[in-house]
Amino acid sequence: MLINFKAVLIWFVICSNSVLLFYTTCCNADINVSAGLECSKADKSTSEDEFQTNLKKLLNSLAAEAPYRNGFYESREGKDSNKVYGIVQCRGDVSVADCANCTKESISIALHDCSKSKQVKVWLKWCFLRYSDDDFIGDLDRISVAHTNETNIDDPSVSQRGFNMMTELAATTPKQPLMFKTAMLDAGDKGKRYGMAQCNRDISSADCDGCLAGQLMSFRTTVGNVREWEIYGSSCTMWYAEFKFYFSITTTTSEGGRKFSSPSQAVAIGMMILTVSKLLLMF
């Protein structure tokens, strides 16, 4: 079940003994900043040599392979209780170099901030890293959180057309080879609206469809009337803004990666309803 920001935080703290933080990154210019972090409760066994060896092999493999496999790679290392599973999913519009840098940054954050955890998720603007001692690969995870600027209200006629565009995007993205797609709405004198959707490529097309549709259904009242929003999930993610926040790229599978064409040039500042300081007070 998808749940809102505050409910996500409480659910993890009480039910999963995890620490989940999402940062105030919504609707900034498209730079690769942290969007969220989840660390499971501290586990003394993370210090065992075999687990650390397997984790190191896993993370090295993800960093080496993901940028050159159209931005996605999954891997497994070890056996029995020390086996570890992991994926990296880079955003479909970023270059090979940016995917590589984002992957390295996410790994650095995970090892620094979740050093005692066996189950870790790191969201950055341009990539998502997840690893765990449980085999999650291929399983749909519906937990998501919405980032939005509540004060940046859009014209009702435009917001409805924008939401319709995102609904269409959610329906067509699962049919794409990389389960990634962008869209643009021309609202005339009210400007343009841009959207993007992506699913992690370890899940099926059918699960991708359910993940994206579920996000829109669950957060309809949260994102339905604002100019800019982002929904981050463990299996899929959606972005919407009044400026072109994504890059223009071409995908060449035969060459093992993506070619970077040209970045967008836009700046917008947003905020979230809850601040990091308020989050920290809850622990």
Give the start-to-end residue ranges of the domains of the chain.
Answer: 5-132, 144-262
Return the ∠ at Cα 184 (arms to 178 and 188), rounded to 5°: 175
Helical residues (DSSP H) of the chain, grouped into ranges: 5-11, 49-65, 96-113, 156-172, 205-218, 220-223, 276-280
**Two tokens at 144?**
């998501």
Task: Match 């490529």 to its residue by tokens.
Answer: 201
Write down the mean pLDDT value for the chain: 82
Q: How far apart are CA 247 and CA 238, in angstroms?
A: 15
| pLDDT for 254 beyond 90 | no
- Residues written for the chain: 283
Q: How far apart are CA 172 and CA 255, in angstroms?
A: 26
Asked whether the beta carbons of 170 and 183 are under 8 A apart, the reply is no
**Two tokens at 278?**
């308020």
Asked whether the beta carbons of 209 and 176 are under 8 A apart, the reply is no
Which CATH code for domain 5-132? 3.30.430.20
Q: What is the CA 72 to chain-centroid distance, rounded? A: 12
Contacts of 261 (CB under 8 A, 6+ apart): 247, 248, 249, 250
- Let me know if 142 is exposed, middle or buried by CB neighbors in 10 A (0-12, 13-18, 19+): middle
Beta strand pairing status for 248-252 and 229-233? unpaired
Match domain 144-262 to its CATH number in 3.40.50.300, 3.40.1160.10, 3.30.430.20, 3.40.50.2000.
3.30.430.20
- Reported as a single tens digit per residue, the pLDDT across 27-49 is 444 677 788 899 998 888 777 88
**Two tokens at 145?**
């959180």
Q: What's the pLDDT band for 265 if we cut at 50, 70, 90?
A: very low
Determine which of 83-97, 141-155, 178-192 has the lowest per-residue pLDDT on average. Answer: 141-155
Higher-confidence residue of 241 and 251: namely 241
**pLDDT for the residue numbered 164:** 96
Higher-confidence residue of 36 and 134: namely 134
Asked whether the beta carbons of 127 and 88 are under 8 A apart, the reply is yes
Q: How far apart are CA 19 and CA 75, in angstroms?
A: 24
- State the pTM of this model: 0.80
| pLDDT for 246 beyond 60 | yes
Asked whether the beta carbons of 84 and 131 are under 8 A apart, the reply is yes
**Two tokens at 64?**
């080496």
